[in-house]
Amino acid sequence: MSHPWDLRVLDLSDPARAARELARVGADPAGVGKMRDKAASLALKVHGLKAPAANILKQEMLAVGGDAAVGRGVVNCSVERSDAVVLGTRKQLRALVRKLKPQPFGLRSLAAEVQRVAAVEPTPPVLRWDGGALRLEQGPLVMGVLNVTPDSFSDGGDYHEPARAAARALEMVDEGADLLDIGGESSRPGSDPVSEEEELRRVLPLVEYLVGRVAVPLSVDTCRSGVARRVVAAGAALVNDISGFRADSEMARAVADSGAAAVVMHMRGTPKTMQSDTRYGDLLGEVWRGLRESLDLGAAAGIPRERLAVDPGIGFGKNAAANLVLLQRLREFASLGCAVLVGASRKSFIGKTLGIDDPRDRLEGSLAAATLAVWNGAQIVRAHDVRATRRAVDLAWAVRRAEEE
């Protein structure tokens, strides 16, 4: 059978790839940018619209050539509210913004949010702090995990002694770590907190020792504003807050005042309680909204968005199935406009999925999770096994960025 046209489907979800394919057929360079936005479709989910607003949204999206799925009771207003899934290209969404701005029922504010989301590029360029920045568009970054605790879930006690911790830090840099994350309090499920004094006793001397001895930025994994202020003053560049600025009401202000960058994570409850209820009615929606609220707390304290990264909190208040879904749909967090960090290394969902009890024996699963995270849009992966993770994510990135010669 003859196939004279060789008709095939192109994956143009990546804007750069779309531009290359359009240029390949000889399209006018001036038109490539415009056509690129026609190639990439987006699906936006909107929560809790009033029925009249949902109806207007549906009609206006149809008018610009897209569509919107809304509840069946919207047309006759037999339901009071409805969620909506808006389907369209970036060009259609920009046209929708113009149509929604004069509309009632809160649609003007929705227009502003659609405009923001439709303008977000897949990869933010930098994560900044006073005196430095991490480039994010050049490939995935590996954050080496260094727990100076006696009771962390996979390496508790390994680096509790200062000399061993310092040696491991230097070793991870040699293995390819782009930054180091130092933790002085275990966050394993069921763990109890330690005092601020004890946390500082564990982490501050190591930060002071490493500043000037390693060429990579230092992050400190803490939920306490007092610890954050001390370690940043000592030279740390990032604060990694697993509570997302919620455990300590002064944390966002401490980060803003210090000029540090911060990672905000989603966690339900505390490490002590987080695994007591892992049921979600809307997993992605709840995690996304929780991260947005953390970003809002940062903004209210005066932290620019370019100084913040988000972490969906794999293993924190989620069961194994939920963690797999978060990895699968990680790209949805890009609309928050921040770097996305994923910490899946050695975690229990890998053990439960593969039937491996010992966290130290979860290397292959950890590498698979890191590779999938990068493939699905993560810019930073947190890892215990730095050398192996460095190699795995670099290959994943090479495949993502591969071009025909």
Active site residues: 347, 382
- How far apart CA 234 and CA 250 sit, in angstroms, is 19
CB burial readout 20-37, b (16+ within 10 A) else e? ebbeeeeeeeeeeeebbb
Torsion angle defined by CA atoms of residues 240, 242, 246 and 248, in that order, rounded to the nearest 10 degrees = -60
Are 127 and 339 in contact by the 8 Å Cβ rule? The answer is yes
Q: How many other CB atoms are there within 10 angstroms of residue 174's CB atom? A: 11
CB burial readout 344-381, b (16+ within 10 A) else e? bbbbbbbbebeebeebeebbebbbbbbbbbbbbbbbbb
Q: What is the DSSP string of 347-379?
A: -HHHHHHHT---GGG-HHHHHHHHHHHHHTT-S
Long-range contacts formed by 297-301: CB under 8 A, 24+ apart? 297/244, 297/245, 297/246, 297/252, 298/245, 298/252, 298/255, 298/256, 298/262, 298/264, 300/252, 301/245, 301/252, 301/253, 301/255, 301/256
Strand partners, 341: 380
- How far apart CA 21 and CA 10 sit, in angstroms, is 9
Q: What is the DSSP string of 187-214?
A: -STTPPP--HHHHHHHHHHHHHHHBTTB
- How far apart CA 252 and CA 305 sit, in angstroms, is 12
